[in-house]
Amino acid sequence: MYSKIIGTGSYLPEKILTNHDLERMVDTSDEWIRARTGIIQRHIAAEGQMASDLALEASRKAIDAAGIQAQEIDLIVLATTTPDMIFPSTACILQHKLGISGGPAFDVQAVCSGFIYALATADMFVSSGKCRNALVVGTEVYSRILDWTDRSTCVLFGDGAGAVVLTQSNQPGILSSHLHANGSYNNVLAAPGNICGGKIQGSPFITMEGNTVFKFAVKVLEEAVFEAITANHLQASDIDWLIPHQANIRIIKSTANKVGIPMEKVVATVDQHGNTSAASVPLALDIAARDGRIKTDHYVLLEGVGGGFTWGSVLLRW
């Protein structure tokens, strides 16, 4: 038995923050941001709009696209770095908002690799027969953990959510998944604050060593592609669509160049929503699925890298 994606969905908050808006907030420019990141705009959650609210909109679209009822979902795996609260999990909150109960629901925390980790986890449940229909979500409200005076980070991130429905299938869907982590880099990309006695200890904002992140990301994203295609006895030329984590267009182009996949076969949406962490891969997947680029029997390779460091890939047959 296999697991197969039968529906996708995504959601971006209504408020748009452009590079020109940021020019009035911090010492930066539209030209600088575009040249170094490829980002034109990002979406910002409204006051009181939580990760579960974004997830709910994306999930409803995915469930509708799958042609099933919410009550048929018997597993929710939700990836987020910005949960609604310390506990309960955002997955449980989403389950309640969908009006369902009974099946397992839990969060996965792997930062920008979160959706890859969540999809690989859900695949194990579905392909083993333990669950029939899984809802896999990536949702983030990074605007809440940004220092808007730090031009090295605040220009990069945005809010959004993406979701897929994964179901049992006799035909190959998810062909393989490959997950990795190296905790020795835990301070390179982090939001190191914590709460003790009701007070924040340390910085609650994102900190990042940009050059280190860039070099590491290009290295492991290249390795992730070759790991996936080697495991499935394929060549890079066999991949119909590469959907990488949408962090920076330079990282995306460097990865594609190193693995020999032309940009015409790469889904890049970072210009429209910035780095949405765990939401970026399912956001891009939904866009490509809905506009018809991804067709039946296409090989689709998803990959991500995030704080931890964590990284990995999932290879699909659509």
* 232 secondary structure, DSSP code: T
Whether residue 206 sits in one domain with residue 94:
no
Whether residue 196 sits in one domain with residue 167:
no
pLDDT of residue 41: 98
Show the domain range for 281.
Answer: 175-317
Q: Which of 125, 140, 171 finishes a domain?
A: 171
- Residues 115-174 pLDDT 10s: 999 999 999 999 999 999 999 999 999 999 999 999 999 999 999 999 999 999 999 999
Whether residue 259 sits in one domain with residue 150:
no
Whether residue 137 sits in one domain with residue 111:
yes
Q: Which of 131, 151, 171 finishes a domain?
A: 171
What's the predicted TM-score (pTM) here?
0.98
Query: 245 with 113: CB under 8 angstroms?
Result: yes
Q: Compute the average pLDDT of residues 13-41.
A: 97
Burial of 252 (0-12, 13-18, 19+ CB in 10 A): buried
Q: Provide the token pair at 109.
A: 């925390």
Whether residue 157 sits in one domain with residue 215:
no
How many residues does the structure list for the chain? 318
Cα–Cα distance, 241 to 89 (Å, whole number): 33
- Residues 257-280 pLDDT 10s: 999 999 999 999 999 999 999 999
19, 43, 112, 178: which is the annotated catalytic residue? 112
Give strand pairing partners of 161: 11, 139
In the block, which residue shows the tokens 């971006």? Answer: 12
- Residues 87-111 pLDDT 10s: 999 999 999 999 999 999 999 999 9
Q: Which of 115, 144, 171 finishes a domain?
A: 171
What total number of domains does the chain contain?
Answer: 2
Q: Provide the token pair at 4.
A: 């197969």
112 is catalytic: yes
43, 178, 245, 273: which is the annotated catalytic residue? 245
Whether residue 188 sits in one domain with residue 160:
no
Q: Compute the average pLDDT of residues 207-228.
A: 97
Percent of the chain past pLDDT 70, that is, above it, reads: 100
Cα–Cα distance, 212 to 101 (Å, whole number): 43
- Residues 51-90 pLDDT 10s: 999 999 999 999 999 999 999 999 999 999 999 999 999 9
Cα–Cα distance, 62 to 5 (Å, whole number): 10
178 is catalytic: no
Instruction: Report the CATH number that the domain containing residue 50 is assigned in CATH.
Output: 3.40.47.10
pLDDT of residue 219: 98
Confidence tier at 19 by pLDDT (50, 70, 90): very high
Q: What share of the chain is helix, strand, coil (3-state, %, to 5)?
A: 40, 30, 35
Q: Provide the token pair at 92.
A: 């449980």
